[in-house]
């Protein structure tokens, strides 16, 4: 009974993939990542399936029950997949059967779509390469770099799942030189801290998620706490309020005590 309730509470997601611009070798890691956020009730991949460029995608379609959506390339050099994917997304949006969308693309043309999804009160998750324009990243509730999920060197012919990524961690210097990142972290800590300046890491993470598409893995860190610790800009303190083997992590901006 408890299992059934848990399943009902999970978000129903529509996963829309721009197959023209996404490698099939990323599919395994992508589907696993999507499962963390909810149930992929709809999975569709868009492209011109009559072309040889998408041949390696076909094995992925069968393995993960992804529906291929045909869009002929009527004009050379013009990506007609975008309009087809956007129209389908709006049709699905109007059914009011979904809690969120997963837009798998690196194309900035989908920025307005992500914004429209959020305006309707739904969650917009974005998945794309590091080259994805900042406008699309910012338009999503959460944006994940596909390179952070898989090792590009593991790409074969699309029939085998990609290996876990060898994380390219940003160094302390690189993190601290990212003014936008540091401002985001300090702002979240300040907004959620108590009178002594201490903030629970969970509250900090939630505050960041509410205002940006931040994901610590995009910087090479699996955990937000590890990224924050690397900057050496914050004091860290473990607390055991429940008196058991679990601890809560609190952080404070070192400038607070200066």
pLDDT in tens, 74-120: 544 445 668 889 999 999 999 999 999 999 999 889 999 999 999 99
Residues 6+ apart with CB under 8 A from 210: none
Taking 70 as the threshold, does the pLDDT of residue 158 lie above it? Answer: no
> What is the structure's pLDDT at 242?
72
Choice between 149 and 159, residue whose per-residue pLDDT is larger: 149
Report the CATH number of the 2-154 domain. Answer: 3.40.50.1010
Range(s) of the chain covered by CATH 3.40.50.1010: 2-154
The tens digit of pLDDT for each residue in 28-77 reads 889 888 988 889 999 999 988 888 888 888 888 988 899 999 877 654 44
Range(s) of the chain covered by CATH 3.30.420.610: 172-257
Give whichever of 21-25, 95-99, 220-224 has the largest mean pLDDT: 95-99
Choice between 245 and 12, residue whose per-residue pLDDT is larger: 12
* Rounded percentage of the chain residues whose pLDDT exceeds 90: 43
User: In this predicted structure, which of 44-48, 73-77, 202-206, 243-247 has the lowest mean pLDDT?
Assistant: 73-77
> What is the structure's pLDDT at 102?
96
Output the CA torsion 16→18→24→25 (10° steps).
-90
Taking 90 as the threshold, does the pLDDT of residue 218 lie above it? Answer: no
Tell me if residue 9 falls in helix, strand or coil.
helix
Cα–Cα distance, 172 to 216 (Å, whole number): 14
Q: Are 57 and 19 in contact (CB under 8 A)?
A: yes
Taking 50 as the threshold, does the pLDDT of residue 8 lie above it? Answer: no
Residues 6+ apart with CB under 8 A from 46: 16, 17, 18, 19, 20, 69, 71, 81, 84, 85, 88
Question: What percent helix, strand, coil does the chain show, rounded to 5?
Answer: 45, 20, 35
> What is the structure's pLDDT at 77?
45
> What is the structure's pLDDT at 245?
75
Q: Which run of H or of E encompasses 100?
A: strand 100-104
In the DSSP assignment, the letter for residue 46 is: E
Residues 6+ apart with CB under 8 A from 14: 40, 41, 42, 44, 89, 92, 98, 100, 101, 102
Phi-psi region for residue 47, left (φ > 0), alpha (ψ -120 to 50) or beta?
left
Q: At what angle do helices 201-211 and 179-192 cross, to 10 degrees?
A: 120
Q: Which superfamily does 172-257 belong to?
A: LOTUS domain-like (3.30.420.610)
């Amino acid at each position: 009974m408890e299992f059934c309730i848990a399943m009902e509470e999970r978000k129903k997601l529509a996963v829309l993939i721009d197959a023209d611009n996404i490698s099939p070798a990323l599919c395994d890691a992508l589907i696993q990542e999507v499962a963390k956020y909810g149930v992929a009730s709809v999975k569709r991949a868009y492209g011109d399936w009559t072309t040889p460029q998408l041949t390696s995608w076909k094995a992925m379609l069968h393995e993960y029950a992804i529906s291929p959506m045909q869009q002929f390339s009527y004009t050379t050099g013009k990506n007609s997949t975008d309009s087809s994917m956007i129209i389908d997304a709006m049709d699905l949006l109007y059914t009011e059967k979904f809690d969120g969308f997963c837009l798998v693309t690196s194309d900035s043309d989908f920025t307005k779509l992500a914004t429209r999804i959020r305006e309707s009160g739904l969650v917009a998750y974005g998945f794309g390469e590091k080259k994805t324009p900042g406008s699309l990243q910012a338009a999503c509730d959460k944006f994940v770099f596909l390179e952070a999920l898989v090792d590009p060197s593991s790409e074969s012919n699309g029939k085998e799942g990609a290996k876990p990524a060898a994380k390219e961690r940003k160094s302390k210097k690189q993190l601290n030189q990212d003014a936008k990142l540091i401002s985001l972290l300090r702002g979240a800590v300040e907004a959620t801290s108590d009178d002594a300046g201490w903030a629970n890491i969970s509250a900090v993470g939630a505050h960041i998620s509410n205002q940006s598409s931040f994901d610590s893995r995009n910087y090479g860190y699996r955990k937000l706490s590890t990224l924050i610790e690397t900057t050496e800009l914050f004091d860290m303190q473990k607390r055991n309020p429940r008196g058991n083997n679990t601890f809560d992590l609190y952080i404070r901006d070192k400038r607070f005590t200066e």
